[in-house]
Structure 1
Amino acid sequence: MPDVHIRKSLVTVEEIFHEGGPAAEVPLRRGAIVTVVRNPFAGRYVEEIAPFMDDLKPLGLQMATSLLAALGGDPRTIEGYGKGAIVGAAGELEHGALWHVPGGYAMREALGGAKAIVPSAKKVGGPGTRLDVPVTHINASYVRSHFDAMEVGVPDGPKADEMALVLVMTTGARIHARVGGLKASEIKGEDGLR
């Protein structure tokens, strides 16, 4: 399989104090890392693409570690996560699916074995395309207070022969979460759902 060629990487961290209600003593922090890589399959149909996931695994772990550092470095402070991919116009949606395993397992490893499936979004688009990356709780997908999304993108990417690979982490629930459902304090930790 081809090597992973990185053009650039961006890290963004938001601090949210309120959404119109009372200001939180500790702001919610949402962070994203986006890495733009060359798409080795751009411009042609290749039947066997799955082995490229193994090539992306070291990048996934590097990105997860970098994002965790940008959010303070303590995995115990991370409560939500998500991943995504924007595939340049000469690629296909399935190329973005190559990020499922390397991105998801890297975050689980960096966070000490988180149990919930890492939600994902992907699309094909040109430079400046934005992607809403879904977020759920790291240990129980049914924790409603942590259902969120973070919008990400790269001003000059992805170019037609590139992919923008994304990881997102958050430090808690939506800042004014109050619509009920399973609470983080009620997680049983049996199956990644509850």
Structure 2
Amino acid sequence: MYAPKFRRIITQISEDRTVDGRLGEPPLRKVVVAAVFTNPFLGGYVDDLSPAIDYSPELGTFLGGLAVEALGAPAVSYGKGGIAGVNGAQEHVISFITTPFGNALRDAVGGGAAWISSATVVGGPGTLLTLPLAHKDALYVRDNYDAVTLYPADAPHPDELLVAVAVANRGRIGARLGGLKAEEIVGKDGLS
């Protein structure tokens, strides 16, 4: 089975303590963990991307575990995404974050009924990647509509892929848009 050799693991942590003068208790903590590795599909069009899909649960478990560890609290929001270096294709990075990856990420964060929002792009070293965040059990929880931007420095090289997961410990500080509250989640359909 295919398994990449990681050139770099990036862990980025941000913690918002106040927003608009409002104290967050607890602070809003967001973590992104990304793996950077050589794109296995370079050299022309590749029809069969199944080696990435087959490997992706292992990657989802690995990145999800690192993210939860760095978060230091239960994850209540999640997201995923990636960047294909300019010698690759967007489809290459997407092949690593499909449903098998998502299911492994759900397991790593302690479960999740909701769709995992994602973002993927093609770009060069230092391309910013903004990962969407939403509540892991119910997309209708507006307080958790958020995002976090990864600053990947020298990654990805033209022949690399960057695959990332994002988690957060709570919704936005000062959220007040109404809708379903986290304590009202039924958690069966991923929406409410």
The TM-score normalised by the length of structure 1 is 0.93
Q: 2: CA distance between counterparts of 1:103 and 1:82?
A: 12
Partner of 2:31 in structure 1?
31
Partner of 1:94 in structure 2?
91
Counting matched residue pairs gives 191
Superposed, 1:21-170 pairs within 5 Å as 21-72=21-72, 74=73, 77-98=74-95, 99-170=97-168
Judge conservation of contact 2:90–2:121 (CA < 8 Å) in 1: yes
Superposed, 1:5-20 pairs within 5 Å as 5-20=5-20
Letter in 2 for 1:143: V
Q: 2: CA distance between counterparts of 1:7 and 1:101?
A: 25
How high is the sequence identity, in percent, across the aligned residues? 39
Judge conservation of contact 1:148–1:174 (CA < 8 Å) in 2: yes
TM-aligned CA deviation for residue 25 of structure 1 = 3.0
Letter in 1 for 2:12: T
Q: 1: CA distance between counterparts of 2:33 and 2:135?
A: 18
Judge conservation of contact 1:43–1:161 (CA < 8 Å) in 2: no
Judge conservation of contact 2:58–2:101 (CA < 8 Å) in 1: no
Judge conservation of contact 1:80–1:171 (CA < 8 Å) in 2: yes
Q: Which runs of 5+ in 1 are unaligned?
A: none
TM-aligned CA deviation for residue 114 of structure 1 = 1.1
TM-aligned CA deviation for residue 176 of structure 1 = 1.3
Letter in 2 for 1:106: A
Q: 2: CA distance between counterparts of 1:26 and 1:123?
A: 33
Judge conservation of contact 2:65–2:109 (CA < 8 Å) in 1: no
Judge conservation of contact 2:6–2:36 (CA < 8 Å) in 1: yes
Q: 2: CA distance between counterparts of 1:25 and 1:145?
A: 15
TM-aligned CA deviation for residue 102 of structure 1 = 4.4
Judge conservation of contact 1:21–1:176 (CA < 8 Å) in 2: no
Q: 1: CA distance between counterparts of 2:101 and 2:152?
A: 18
Q: Which runs of 5+ in 2 are unaligned?
A: none
Mean CA deviation greater in 95-104 or 153-162? 95-104
Q: 1: CA distance between counterparts of 2:25 and 2:56?
A: 39
- Do the aligned partners of residues 177 and 26 (structure 1) sit closer, same or farther apart at CA in structure 2, a change above 3 Å counting? same
Please list every run of at least 4 consecutive aligned residues from structure 1 whose deviation after the TM superposition is greater than 4 angstroms.
none
The TM-score normalised by the length of structure 2 is 0.94
TM-aligned CA deviation for residue 113 of structure 1 = 2.2
Q: What RMSD in Å do the two structures reach over aligned CA positions?
A: 1.4
